Amino acid sequence: MTLSQPAKRYGVIGNPVAHSRSPAIHEAFARQAGITLTYERICAPRDGFAATIGAFFSEGGAGLNVTVPFKEEAFRLAEGQLSQRAAMAGAVNTLWMEQDTLHGCNTDGVGLLHDITRLGHAPKDRAILLVGAGGAARGVVFPLLEAGCARLHIVNRTAEKAQALSQHIIDHAPESVGRVTAGGLDHAKGPWDIVINATSSSLTSAPPALPGRLYAAGALAYDMFYASGPTAFMRQAQADGAGTVADGLGMLVGQAAASFAIWHGVQPDTVPVLETLRNALSEP
């Protein structure tokens, strides 16, 4: 007689979280790897994140992805056991228990780099414009710099937030002085090789108020937001002459793959999972 191990329990925690595609992604990765697991959506009360994750892990939960609005709270709760990526980003999207201690990492930057590279626009030696200075932008700035971009210019509707993010980078990586600059949206003057939209403006179906002529020949316009069709930012970029436009579905799959690798020690193949997800998103 063989005794099978109970399936390990994983999930994504946020508020709201009903829209999350993480269960389908992790279940597909698990099928690839021959791993049995459960992966659920957990909606925590906005003032009840710590209690909810405490209950999850004390009941034997193995790992959690964290989404809006809890990434910064997750960072605080895992303080002391943070990966370097999470420590630099000030935000955590991947939690797990090791020797009864909560650990945290941020895989958003890895997911973005993975997808930009898949699209043939690896950041090395490129001039990059990053639009937005919220949690998603914080998660990707250090990975972009580490990937060797020539220049990183951060612009935001509230210019002071872009300047504060730029200062945060320089405080942690003083060698970035001169390579990292910041300003308001009207200080985005091109041309840029890669323009990344890390604002939530696409939620309102309106692009950020950027000036025209942003794109160098063949440049990539990347929207972290994703939808069934081209986003407002993608349409704006196409009209402004971007060579390639893409949404953030590949980043979503890439960040999930990096979380999966942390939890299970297996690097999944993102290509078929992205294809399935894209088809599902396009269905009416």
Q: Indicate whether 157 belongs to the interface with ligand NAP (CB under 6 A).
A: yes
Binding flag, residue 102, ligand NAP (CB under 6 A): no
Q: Does 111 bind ligand NAP (CB under 6 A)?
A: yes
Of how many residues is the chain composed? 284
Q: Which stretch binds ligand NAP (CB under 6 A): 1-9, 11-19, 56-64, 127-135?
A: 127-135
Report the Cα–Cα distance between both ends of the chain, in Å, rounded.
48
**Is 71 one of the catalytic residues?**
yes
Stretch that binds ligand NAP, among 28-36, 145-153, 167-175, 193-201 (CB under 6 A): 193-201
Cβ proximity to ligand NAP, 77 vs 133, nearer residue: 133
Q: Which is nearer to ligand NAP, 11 or 132 (CB)?
A: 132
* Residue 178 burial by Cβ neighbours in a 10 Å radius (0-12, 13-18, 19+): exposed
**Shorter beta-carbon distance to ligand NAP: residue 97 or 261:** 261
Give the shortest CB-39-to-ligand NAP separation in angstroms: 16
Among 78, 198, 221, 277, indicate the residue that binds ligand NAP (CB under 6 A): 198
Integer Cα distance of 95 and 10 in angstroms = 10
**Considering the rule CB under 6 A, would residue 106 count as an interface residue with ligand NAP?**
no
Task: Decide: is 200 part of the binding site for ligand NAP (CB under 6 A).
Answer: yes
Among 14, 132, 143, 268, binds ligand NAP (CB under 6 A): 132
Q: Can you tell me which of 7, 51, 55, 68 binds ligand NAP, judged by CB under 6 A?
A: 68
Under the binding rule (CB under 6 A), the answer on residue 179 touching ligand NAP is: no
Residue by residue, what is the 3-state secondary structure of 169-213?
Answer: HHHHCHHHECCEEEEEHHHCCCCEEEEEECCCHHHHCCCCCCCCC
CA distance 227 to 62: 30
Q: Could you give the CA distance from residue 164 to residue 240 in angstroms, rounded to a whole number?
A: 29
Q: How far apart are CA 17 and CA 43, in angstroms?
A: 6
Residue 112 backbone zone (phi > 0: left; psi -120 to 50: alpha; other: beta):
alpha
Residue 134 binding ligand NAP, by CB under 6 A: yes
Nearer to ligand NAP, 63 or 132 (CB): 132
The residue among 174, 103, 177, 111 whose CA lies nearest residue 140 is 111
Using CB under 6 A as the binding rule, whether residue 204 contacts ligand NAP is answered as yes
Which bin fits 205, alpha (ψ -120 to 50), beta or left (φ > 0)? left
Interface residues toward ligand NAP, by CB under 6 A? 68, 108, 111, 132-137, 156-158, 161, 198-202, 204, 206, 208, 224-226, 248, 251-252, 255
User: What positions carry a catalytic annotation?
Assistant: 71
